[in-house]
Each structure stands twice: as C-alpha cells, then as structure tokens.
Homo-oligomer: A and B are copies of this chain.
Amino acid sequence: MIAKTPQAPYYAVIFTSLKNEKDDGYNETAIIMEELAKQQSGFLGLESARNQVGISVSYWISLEAIQKWKTNLDHIEAQQKGKSNWYKHYKVRIAKVERDYGI
C-alpha cells in the first residue's frame, strides 16, 4: 500500500538491500519487524517491494523516533541477523521529506 503520510515535513528511512540465497527465518523476522515498527511512537507508514533488490521505506515523525526504533532491542537483534545471515549488501538512508504530491 501507499503510506498515508501527513503533511510534510516528516522523515523517511529508505532501506535498500540485496539478499543472499538463505531464508533461515528471514520472512518471519521481516513480518515481526514490520508489525513492531507499526507499534512505535512516531511511526507514520511503510511501503515495501522486492525484485532483485528490496526497498522498504518507512516514514517517521522525527529523527528521534527513528533513533528510538533503531535502538529497540528486538530490532537490534534483527539488524544483527540481517548483517550476519541475510544480506549481501544493504544501504540505509535517513531523509527529510520536504514536499509530496500525488493522485
């Protein structure tokens, strides 16, 4: 779904990843992390798609909310598994959404 975000400004975390071949609990963890993100204070929405590359964009009310989510203990554990087990490469970009439009 396209996230129903409020009027800009707000923040986006653009997470782009290349997975390796292993599943090894990946899908389960991805679903749990998505549910957990939605419960965080300051969470505004999430969009994700994967072909060769996976792109997940989460939207947040502030940098503080992003920082809190980054240091959530269950999320830290998932990030470590991501690095060691699932991702060949990834990039996280923290961005301030200055304006938006659409139909």
Contacts and interface: CB of A to CB of B under 8 A. Distances in A.
Contact of A89 (B55, B100, B103): B103
A50 B51 contact: yes
Interface residues of A, number: 37
Nearest to A82: B103
Interface in A1-47: 1-3, 5, 8, 12, 14, 16-18, 47
Contact of A53 (B2, B5, B100): B2
A2 B14 contact: no
Contact of A47 (B16, B48, B94, B96): B16
Interface string A88-103: 0111111111111111
Interface of A: 1-3, 5, 8, 12, 14, 16-18, 47-55, 57, 83, 87, 89-103
